[in-house]
Amino acid sequence: MVLVNENFLSLPGNYLFSEINKKVMAFRSRYPDAELIRMGIGDVTRPLAKAVIDAMHQAVSEMSDENTFRGYGPEQGYDFLIKKIIENDFLPRGVNILPEEVFISDGCKSDMGNIGGLFDRENVVAVTDPVYPVYVDSNVMDGRAGQLQASGMWNKVVYLPCTAENGFIPALPDKPADIIYLCYPNNPTGTTLTKAELKKWVDYALETGSLVLFDAAYEAFIAEDTIPHSIYEIDGAKECAIEFRSFSKKAGFTGIRCGYTVVPKVLTVKSAANGKVCLNALWNRRQTTKFNGVSYITQRAAEAVYTPEGKKQCDENSAYYMKNAAIIRSGLKKIGFNVYGGVNAPYIWFSTPDNSGSWHFFDRMLREIHVIGTPGVGFGPSGEGYIRLTAFGSREDTIAAMKRFESWTL
Ligand code: PLP
Q: What is the pLDDT of residues 9-25, one digit of tens each?
A: 999 887 788 899 999 99
- Using DSSP bridges, classify how beta strands 386-390 and 347-351 pair: parallel, antiparallel or unpaired: antiparallel
Q: Are residues 145 and 236 in the same domain?
A: yes
The protein residue whose alpha carbon is closest to atom 3 in ligand 1 is 187
| Candidate from 12-16, 161-165, 181-185, 257-261 with smallest mean pLDDT | 12-16
Question: Cα–Cα distance between 385 and 353 in angstroms, integer?
Answer: 9
How many domains does one find in the chain? 2
Q: Are residues 182 and 247 in the same domain?
A: yes
Q: For residue 357, is pLDDT > 80?
A: yes
Question: Cα–Cα distance between 88 and 90 in angstroms, integer?
Answer: 6
Q: For position 410, what pLDDT does the model report?
A: 81
Q: Are residues 314 and 299 in the same domain?
A: no
Q: For residue 246, is pLDDT > 90?
A: yes
Q: Are 410 and 353 in contact (CB under 8 A)?
A: yes
Residue ranges making up the domain that contains 13: 6-47+309-406
Average pLDDT over residues 42-55: 97
Q: For residue 41, is pLDDT > 90?
A: no
Question: Cα–Cα distance between 145 and 30 in angstroms, integer?
Answer: 40
Q: Are residues 67 and 16 in the same domain?
A: no
Q: For position 4, what pLDDT does the model report?
A: 96
Give the distance, in angstroms, between the CA of residue 50 and the centroid of all CA atoms in the same chain.
Answer: 25
Q: What does the mean pLDDT of the chain come to? A: 97
Q: How far, in Å, is the centroid of ligand 1 from the Cα of 217?
A: 6
Q: Are residues 291 and 332 in the same domain?
A: no
Q: Are residues 125 and 158 in the same domain?
A: yes
Q: For residue 1, is pLDDT > 80?
A: yes
Q: Are residues 100 and 126 in the same domain?
A: yes
What CATH number is given to the structural domain containing 392? 3.90.1150.10
Ligand 1 nearest atom to the CA of residue 248, by list position: 14
The protein residue whose alpha carbon is closest to atom 1 in ligand 1 is 217
Residue 1 lies in a domain: no
Q: Is 138 exposed, middle or buried (0-12, 13-18, 19+ CB in 10 A)?
A: buried
Domain stop point among 284, 307, 330: 307
Bond prior to 188 in cis (omega within 30° of 0):
yes
Q: Are residues 122 and 262 in the same domain?
A: yes
pLDDT > 90 fraction of the chain, expressed in percent and rounded: 97
Q: For position 331, what pLDDT does the model report?
A: 98
Average pLDDT over residues 357-372: 98
| Residue to substitute in 127, 128, 183, 249 for testing ligand 1 pocket (most ligand atoms within 8 angstroms of CB) | 249
Q: Are 109 and 327 in contact (CB under 8 A)?
A: no
Bond prior to 185 in cis (omega within 30° of 0):
yes
Q: How many CA atoms lie within 13 A of 340 on its CB side?
A: 25
Q: Are residues 232 and 365 in the same domain?
A: no
Q: How many CA atoms lie within 13 A of 365 on its CB side?
A: 32
Sheet order of strands, 179-183 included: 102-105, 259-262, 241-246, 211-215, 179-183, 125-129, 158-161
Q: Are 206 and 175 in contact (CB under 8 A)?
A: no
Domain stop point among 292, 307, 322: 307
Q: Are residues 188 and 269 in the same domain?
A: yes
What CATH number is given to the structural domain containing 241? 3.40.640.10
Q: What's the pLDDT tens digit per position in 88-130?
A: 999 999 999 999 999 999 999 999 999 999 999 999 999 999 9
Average pLDDT over residues 291-311: 98
Domain stop point among 283, 307, 331: 307
* Ligand 1 pocket by Cβ (under 6 Å): 42, 107-109, 132, 183, 187, 215, 217, 246, 248, 254, 259
Q: pTM higher than 0.85 for the full model? A: yes
Q: For position 196, what pLDDT does the model report?
A: 97
Q: Which residues contact 316 (CB under 8 A, 6 or more apart)?
A: none
Q: For position 18, what pLDDT does the model report?
A: 87
Average pLDDT over residues 372-391: 97
Q: For residue 340, is pLDDT > 80?
A: yes
Q: Are 148 and 154 in contact (CB under 8 A)?
A: yes
Average pLDDT over residues 216-239: 98
Residue 315 lies in a domain: yes
Q: How far, in Å, is the centroid of ligand 1 from the Cα of 351?
A: 24
Kindly list the distances between the CA atom of residue 171 and the CA atoms of 50, 125, 129, 227, 378, in Å, as whole numbers in the listed order: 43, 15, 11, 18, 21
Q: For position 13, what pLDDT does the model report?
A: 80
Q: For position 15, what pLDDT does the model report?
A: 72
Average pLDDT over residues 227-256: 98
CA proximity to 160, closest of 206, 209, 204, 121: 204
Side chain identity at residue 246, one-letter code: S
Q: For position 409, what pLDDT does the model report?
A: 86
